[in-house]
A = this chain, B = another copy of it.
Amino acid sequence: MTPSLTPLVTMLATDMELVNATILARMDSNIPLIPQLAGHLIAAGGKRMRPMMTVAGALLGSRDATIREPAIKLATAVEFIHSATLLHDDVIDESALRRGRDTANALWGNDASVLVGDFLFGRAFELMVEAGDMTVLGRLASAAARITEGEIKQMAITGQPDTPVDDYFDVIGGKTAVLFSAAAAAGIEITGAPAAQVEAMRVYGMELGMAFQIMDDALDYTASAEQMGKNAGDDFVDQKITLPTILAWQDGDAEERACWQRTLGEADFAEGDLERAQALLASHDAVNRSVVMAHDHAVKAGAALAPFIGDERTAPLARALADAALFAAHRAS
């Protein structure tokens, strides 16, 4: 059966409406540019996977109504941290298209993207303070620092086609998986759940995040602009080193490596290079092998949820979360 995000979205709908309302309320400012720019980004939406992690974690931990408000504040903070990193990424990538729309920096300029990103970081921490749990706050603060370490390391390996695969995993662990992981763990931690349950959600989020990013990187070489909301081959032109190119490099002969070196390594691009890269990836089955690795992480994510699947109260939500992980690793085509 095709995995689906729908059961999870349905179960979290009530809480996610509150998250959306909080997002709107808290991006407000008497400086009109801030809600304009933040609204452009956040209204574009995406699936809100990260705040869903927090809300789901909180619901697994407790159905107590008093926990809703801090959980929703934390979920909003998570989305703000994510949005801030997106705004700053756009400056770094100088990408003109995100989620199928013009990027904020293309519309308002780099200055505004940097500053509104900082504003959202600040607001995120205000929300976490209001949620009132120092341990949870520390968890998310560490995640914020790790995200940037991942992105800086990504910058460092850019243009290095011989990057070892472990360095890639380190990059995506930092830039993507850590926030999923901290979001999921924070949600259940604020309910006062036992440490083993917090740890289970931490692992779930981590594995889901790995699956999500590996898949995103694999699809960059296959999907059309409509599917991805961005252009196919973006990573190639940006000299980004991702799992498919690492696998193809490892298996490539001297001539193939010279091709990767000229393009990814030296940004010396010629007509037809993207098609040639895609052909090389296909000849080593590099995209499919990446998808399989994404799927393995998704399976591990689901396995981490065993304590919740064994409990009648939490089983339906846990099963929906496991399905969401498989969905993240599912190949749309």
Contact = CB atoms under 8 A, between A and B. Distances in A.
A95 interface: yes
A149 interface: yes
Contacts of A95: 109-111
Contact of A125 (B31, B111, B144, B152): B144
A142 interface: yes
Interface residues of A, number: 45
A114 B142 contact: no
A196 interface: no
Nearest to A145: B122
B92 A155 contact: no
A138 B131 CA distance: 11
Interface in A103-143: 109-112, 114-119, 121-123, 125-126, 128-130, 132, 134, 137-138, 141-142
A152 B34 contact: yes
Contact of A148 (B119, B126, B130, B132): B119
A203 interface: no
Nearest to A118: B148
Interface in A29-66: 29, 31, 33-34
A153 to B, nearest CB: 5
Interface of A: 29, 31, 33-34, 84-85, 88, 91-92, 95, 109-112, 114-119, 121-123, 125-126, 128-130, 132, 134, 137-138, 141-142, 144-149, 151-153, 155-156
9 contacts: A29-B149, A88-B115, A91-B111, A117-B118, A118-B151, A119-B149, A121-B144, A122-B148, A134-B134
